[in-house]
Amino acid sequence: MLALVEWLRAPAPAWALTSLIAAIIALIAGRRRRANALAGLAVAGAAVSAGLGSLSVAAIESRWPTVRERRLAAASERLSSTLERALSDTRRLAEVGTEAVALPRPAAFRRLEREIRAARYEAGIVVYDSAGAPWAWAGRLRVLPPAAGPADGSRIDAFYASLESRRQAGWARSTASVLVDADGLVADRAGALAADFERRAGVALRILAPATAPDRTNVYDFELADPETGVVRDTLFSIELTPPRQGEAKIAVVGRWSRWVVRLTLIGLILVGIGGPTMWARLAAAAALAWLAARAPLGDALFSPATFYRSLLGPFSASAGALGALAAASCLGAIALWHRSPRVRWWSWPAAAVLITGTPFALRELGRGISPPATGASLALWISWELALTLVTAALILTALALLRGGETPDRTPLRVWIGVLWAAAAGAAGIWLWEPQGAWPDWYGYSWLPAVALITVPSPRHAAAWATAIAAGTAAAIITWGATIEGRISLASRDVDRLGTAGDPLAVAALESLAEQAALSAPPTSAADLYRLWVHA
């Protein structure tokens, strides 16, 4: 029994088991609603993805040498066809350049641009005239290829490696280039062949000149052979296949499967929310999804405690995704309570008062869990924070509404509801003016939201209640997210400033000492590229 309990408490089995439970609930409900049938498929897919991810992680942890050799073998088989396709693209682009000279010059530019957009990897093409000046071009060229050179060749310098093809037609000479790899010091190398290969095969490529390649089994020579005789004419470059370290491979596998799990789970939550024969069936499935979202060992930023963490609700507030899933289930619970049309009892008013009073302060407390990355918050990350806080606010307001609704709903929207909406908008606008770098908002600012929440929670028609709740919750979540993001950026800047002093930044001093040691041990730099490489690796 204890072993079974420990197994159920483990993150991966708990995720898969609860996903299957939610899928069964949704599929049963889907007999009458197609949306829940699709929700069941989505959640079942999440369960399968989680299971496959768990198996992959277990294989890496227990049989890493075997997994590494198998990955190298699969990458070696894939590498040859990948390089051949890249060379074929380079030749095709060069031939297109010779065809474009028959067009008017503006049309030639458009033709080259269309062909570049169809290329698999980052590519560029230049058409030279008889004087050697560029006549038409398109794409991105890290290093301008010369007009003269072999029909098919390669270019390797300190930072870039590329394939080049040249064709000539009359007065025009066309040169096309496809980026094979860029040095790790280059920030934007995502379009290179090596970067795409690493994402797909899980093995990194190191491009080497043929004469400098080591004699190893994991080194592949990319050779040009005569198509008729098969005789090797030239070796363009050598490629060393480098498998990741065990920890890196595990992180990559978790991240890859997590993305699928997160997508399918979010789809399941949305479909469960809009479908189903009864509200209680949807609530049960959403509650299961919320629990598994909090328990899942996900590597996605949405479920990462590095960008959002608050201990207020335990694992349910350990990430923006878990908090949003719990809030979504709570919203469905409030809607289910609304549909029951409960009679207003003696305890309904005190319970609603607690919810109304606690909503602004709970939102502000949860907003302190936002932790912007040092590189800045992306739009998707910002939306995840705001959406989670909006759902939390909406769940509290809807629950208070359901408690005070009673058995009858008014036909017309009371004026007090719209006054509450305007009050919420005014409180949000005032928050921008009242915010200060030291201390954020005044202590009394939270109380300024109480009239807005109280006015919105009076009985009103369903559509008016939904719109008023959405506007108030969204406004409050937006101002809290904005303030927390600014506070996080100021905190990061303050820490940077604190490291500055008369004695110098310890990290900068250590970096300069490391640079001096590297310069003493290595050959003297002969170019700006060598000096830059030395500085980055210090």
Of the listed ranges 44-48, 318-322, 488-492, 500-504, the one predicted with least confidence: 500-504
Residue 440 DSSP code: B
H or E element, residue 497: helix 462-498
Confidence of residue 525 (pLDDT cuts 50, 70, 90): confident
CA distances from 463 to 64, 411, 454 (A): 57, 11, 18
What value does the mean pLDDT of the chain take? 78
- Of 171-180, 402-411, 476-485, give the range with the top mean pLDDT: 171-180
User: Could you give the CA distance from residue 372 to residue 381 in angstroms, rounded to a whole number?
Assistant: 9
What are the structure tokens assigned to 392, written together? 């939390």
Which of the two residues, 184 and 105, has the higher pLDDT score? 105
Confidence of residue 406 (pLDDT cuts 50, 70, 90): low
pLDDT, average across residues 39-52: 72
Q: Which amino acid is at 188?
A: D
Which of the two residues, 291 and 32, has the higher pLDDT score? 291
- Total-model pTM: 0.60
- CB-CB neighbours of 159 under 10 Å: 17
**Does residue 172 sit in helix, strand or coil?**
strand
What is the structure's pLDDT at 356?
85
Which segments of 349-508 are extended strands (E)? none
Cβ-count burial of 176 within 10 angstroms (0-12 exposed, 13-18 middle, 19+ buried)? buried
Reported as a single tens digit per residue, the pLDDT across 135-167 is 999 998 888 888 888 888 888 887 889 999 999
User: Could you give the CA distance from residue 39 to residue 30 in angstroms, rounded to a whole number?
Assistant: 8
User: Could you give the CA distance from residue 441 to residue 435 in angstroms, rounded to a whole number?
Assistant: 5
